[in-house]
Structure formats: structure tokens, C-alpha cells
Amino acid sequence: MKTKLIASTEAQNNFGRVLDDVVQNSTRYIVRRRNVSQAIILSIADLEQILAGDEIQRKKLEKFIQETIPVYSIGKPLSEEE
């Protein structure tokens, strides 16, 4: 199963082709806006497989999501508790 990164404008302009790729080739797309991951496009069959308990696929997807989540580090905490 392939996972591809795609800009939101490219996904919008080519939505039919993206949808065909998702359904016919089991490709997952991470949609990015301003270089920040915003959404995942995956097929219903793929989602059903993940929800049905395919632990290996779930862990792979979870790891990929964690790697693509933006990290914001603006400012400093005032104390250790905050």
C-alpha cells in the first residue's frame, strides 16, 4: 500500500484522479496545506481493514501520522508545571 503526499490545491484540481487512485490502487494520500499535513484520504475498504483490527497496518499508519504532524514550538513555558 502506497502513501503519497499531495498539496491541497493539487488534490482539489485532480480530485477525480486522486479518488480513482485511492479506490483502485489502495493508495493513501496525506493532504498538505502550506507544507502542513491536514488530512488523509483513504478508501472505505482501507478504513474497514484498519478498524477491523489489522494491528500492523494501524501501527504503520499511526507512526506515519505522528511523523507528519507539525510541531509548534513558539514561546517558552514560564515554569516546569506549564
Q: What is the model's pTM?
A: 0.69
Q: Distance (Å, rounded) from C-alpha 2 to C-alpha 13? A: 21
> Could you tell me if 26 and 49 are in contact, meaning their C-beta atoms sit under 8 angstroms apart?
no
Look at residue 44 in the predicted model and tell me its pLDDT: 92
Q: What domains lie within the chain, and their CATH numbers?
A: 3-68 (3.40.1620.10)
Strand positions, DSSP E, the chain: 3-7, 28-33, 36-41
pLDDT tier at 20 (50, 70, 90 boundaries)? very high
pLDDT of residue 80: 58
CB atoms under 10 Å from CB of 22, counted, come to 19
